[in-house]
Homo-oligomer: A and B are copies of this chain.
Amino acid sequence: MINGNKRPTIYDVARHAGVSITTVSRVLNDPGRVNPETRRKILASIDALGFVPKAEARARAMQKNGRIGVVTPFFTAPSFVQRLRGIATVLSSKNFELVIYPVYSADHLQRYLSTLPLTGNLDGLIVLSLPVNDEEAERLIRHNLPTVLIEYPHPALNCVEIDDVEGGRMAANYLLSKGHRRIAFLGDTDLPEYAIHPVSLRLSGFRQALKEAGIDLPEAFVRLAPYTQEQTRQVAKELLELPEPPTAIFAATDFQALGVLKAARQLGVEVPGQLAVIGFDDLDMAEYADLTTISQHLDESGKLAVEILFAQLESPSRLPRHVKLPLTLIERKTA
């Protein structure tokens, strides 16, 4: 190939065939008007250069395939991945494209939300664990972009919600039923402003349930750590080294529960003998760690979101649906 560079344009074809671009264009759009002789020459050049009129290809491609966008806090946390998995499964079976928009900042989110309905070329949108305000919601609706929010409620949009408060209660009640009285909570520090914070809700349910049972939750038993294994472990260690350490810890996410388990291992604290640990999420790895936890059916919620989305695609005038997925306590070996 003589020309190594770039995709050929109509100009290249024109030059190659010794005609003007006008004529080339006509061969493509109105072949009747061009001399058969010239036409053949041009067609030959088109083949030789492998010229593909771009605009056409694009329009066709954009029209033909369905595209669903997923806006997600950058999928560092395993729980996002697992939800994404549910989404991908259904989407692919329906032959829809999956476009991912990772969010790294509030700015990012804002930008996607205002821009996607316009330039995104999407048939539908799923927003994962991110806050959508009224203005943004209204814009999504006005631009007819069917949307499902996961883990964040908005009256005007479809939502798949988790009852985090209830989850906190479940954890508390379970530990209470096992006879624990000195129970601590370990959550993550506030996420950056752009994400939502279900962990606080879990804490509040947890606190409520304890209170109802007449159990005190001292401030020293409520600890937050950044969402990393190492820092969580450190904080868990501090909890366990208290003069009167808790006999049970509710970790607001499985990922952090693993940090707690690690701390216990290092300190030689026996689980569940000396310390009960319960998590939240039921990640894949919870099973590996034999972690007792509260499952929020991550894969399920992803699938469900897609299904709601498709339902709305079919009847766009449907009222927004709000679904609350049940939580399940999975009893394994750490509590």
CA separation between A62 and B51, bound complex, in Å?
A: 18
Q: Which residues of B contact A4 (CB under 8 A)?
A: 316-317
CA separation between A32 and B114, bound complex, in Å?
A: 12
User: Interface with B: A96-104, A208-216, A272-280, which one?
Assistant: A96-104
A263 CB to nearest chain B CB (Å) = 11
Does chain B have a CB within 8 A of A303? no
CA separation between A102 and B70, bound complex, in Å?
A: 15
Whether A85 contacts B92 by the Cβ 8 Å rule is no
Q: Which residues of B contact A259 (CB under 8 A)?
A: 288
Does chain B have a CB within 8 A of A267? no
Does chain B have a CB within 8 A of A242? no
Q: What 0/1 readout, one digit per residue, does chain A (54-75) give for beta carbons within 8 Å of chain B? A: 1111111110110100000011
Whether A114 contacts B76 by the Cβ 8 Å rule is no
A91 CB to nearest chain B CB (Å) = 8
CA separation between A200 and B288, bound complex, in Å?
A: 25
Whether B58 contacts A59 by the Cβ 8 Å rule is yes
Whether B75 contacts A258 by the Cβ 8 Å rule is no
Whether B139 contacts A47 by the Cβ 8 Å rule is yes
Apart from the given pairs A32-B111, A74-B85, 16 other A-B contacts in the complex at a CB distance below 8 Å: A28-B119, A31-B111, A46-B118, A47-B139, A47-B143, A51-B118, A55-B60, A58-B119, A61-B120, A64-B119, A74-B88, A75-B85, A92-B102, A230-B287, A285-B285, A285-B288
Chain A residues proximal to chain B, CB less than 8 Å: 4-7, 28, 31-32, 43, 46-47, 50-62, 64-65, 67, 74-76, 78, 81, 84-85, 88-89, 92, 97-102, 104, 107, 110-111, 114-115, 118-121, 139, 142-144, 229-230, 258-259, 262, 284-285, 287-288, 290, 315-317
A-B contact pairs, 24 of them (CB 8 A): A4-B317, A5-B316, A28-B118, A31-B115, A43-B114, A47-B139, A47-B142, A47-B143, A53-B119, A55-B119, A56-B59, A58-B59, A61-B120, A65-B119, A74-B88, A74-B92, A88-B102, A89-B102, A92-B101, A92-B104, A98-B101, A229-B284, A258-B285, A285-B288
